[in-house]
Amino acid sequence: MQSEDALIAQLRELIETQLPHARSLTPIGDDGAAWQPSRSHRSVVTTDACIEGVHFRRDTMSLEDAGWRSMASNLSDLAAMGARPVLATVALGIPPGARAQDAVQLYRGIVEVSRLHRCAIAGGDVTRAPVWTVCIAAVGEVRTTHLKGRAHARPGDVLALTGALGASRAGLHLADNVNVLSGSLREEALRAHRRPQPRVAEGRFLAASRNVHAMMDVSDGLSTDVARLCARSRCGALVEQVPVAPSAAAMAQARGEDAQSYALAGGEEYELLAAIDARAFPYLRARFQKRFGRPLLPIGHVREGSGVMVRKAAGEEVLPATGWDHLRE
C-alpha cells in the first residue's frame, strides 16, 4: 500500500473528475468541509456503516459493488425523508494487505452512485481497519412542507411500497446455491443484491403530496420495518399482501420456503414504504404509474391499536419481525 497522502490524492482526482459540481466551499484536503445550505430548505443528515462480513461478502460482490451499496444505503435514508442528496463525507477503513487500487475500486462504486444522484463527495478520512469498512455521513435538503418521517401514519391509511421485495436476499443466497437461478431471474437477484437502487426520485415525488403521512425505507426487511413505522406512529397495521420479486419467489421455492415469508424477511433493498390517505391513494397511484412506469403497490392498511398482523388463509396472525437486526447474535 502506498502512503496515505498518495492514496488521498488518487481519490481526490477520482472525485473531482467524476463529480465536478460539488457545493462544498472548501477543496478536499482541508480538515473539514464547509458548505452553504439553502435558506429555503431543511437539511437532513444521515449516517450509515458498511462493514465486510456484516453488510457484504467478498464472495458475493466486488469492492466496487460494496462501495455502491455503502452510498446507496445513505441515499435511501435521504429518500425516505423526501430529501434531495447534496453532499457526503466518506471514512474508509482499509485492511492489512490491501492495495491502493483496491481502495480506488471501492471508491469508484461510491462515486458512480453519487454521480447518478448528484451528491457531492466533500471529504472524509482514510485509516487502517481489520476489514473493509465504509462509514458515510450524507446531507440532503427538503422543503419544510415536504419533510417526511415515520411518526404521522393515521388509522385508515393505505400502506404501499415502491417495488416488490426479496430479490436482494435471493442474490445473497445465490452465493451458496449458484445454480439455483438462471437467465433473467439470476440477473435480477444479483443486480438487486450488488447494486440496489435508492428511490430518491420516488421519495421526492411522494413527499410532495400532503396525502403521504409517513414514509421510510425497508432496508432491514418489511416484517421489521413496518413494525417500526407503526410504533413510531403509535398505531397498528394489517399486512394483507406482499409483492414478491420473481427471483425471490423462485429462490424461495428452491429452498422449500413460502415466498411471502421469504420476502418479508429480506433486507438490504431500498424500496420505500409509505402511509397514504386512503381517499387519495387511487389518484396518487395513477400519477406514480405515469411518472415512473411501474405501480405503487398497496400491501395493507394502518389501523387503531398497536402491533402488526398479517392476513393468512386461516385468518389474521401476528407478524413476527424476521428482518435484519444488527445486534442479533
Q: Label each residue of 228-240 as H, E or C.
A: HHHHHHCCEEEEC
Whether the domain at 4-144 and the domain at 158-318 fall into the same CATH topology: no
Per-residue model confidence (pLDDT) at position 51:
95
DSSP element (H, E) containing 29: none
Handedness of CA 126, 129, 132, 137 (dihedral sign): negative
Question: Mean pLDDT by 10-residue block, N- to C-terminus, for the chain (329 residues)?
Answer: 72 71 60 79 94 90 96 97 95 94 95 95 92 96 96 97 97 89 96 96 98 96 95 97 97 96 91 98 98 98 95 89 65
Tell me, what DSSP letter sits at residue 226?
Answer: H
Secondary structure (3-state) at 72? helix
May I ask the CATH architecture of the domain 4-144?
2-Layer Sandwich (3.30)
For the residues of 142-190, what is the DSSP string, one character each?
EEGGG---STT--TTPEEEESS-B-HHHHHHHTTT-TTS--HHHHHHHH
Residue in 176, 239, 58, 200 with CA at minimum distance from that of residue 118: 200
Cα separation, 69 vs 126, whole angstroms? 18
Number of neighbouring beta carbons within 10 Å of residue 209: 19
Q: Which residues pair with 160 in a beta bridge?
A: 274, 298
Pick the CATH number of 158-318 from 3.90.650.10, 1.10.1040.10, 2.60.40.10, 2.40.50.100: 3.90.650.10
272-276/212-217 β-pairing: antiparallel
| 194 within 8 A of 171, measured Cβ to Cβ | yes
| 270 within 8 A of 73, measured Cβ to Cβ | yes
Per-residue model confidence (pLDDT) at position 2:
64
Residue in 134, 102, 139 with CA at minimum distance from that of residue 119: 139
Per-residue model confidence (pLDDT) at position 134:
97
Task: Let me know how long the chain is.
Answer: 329
Domain boundaries, the chain: 4-144, 158-318
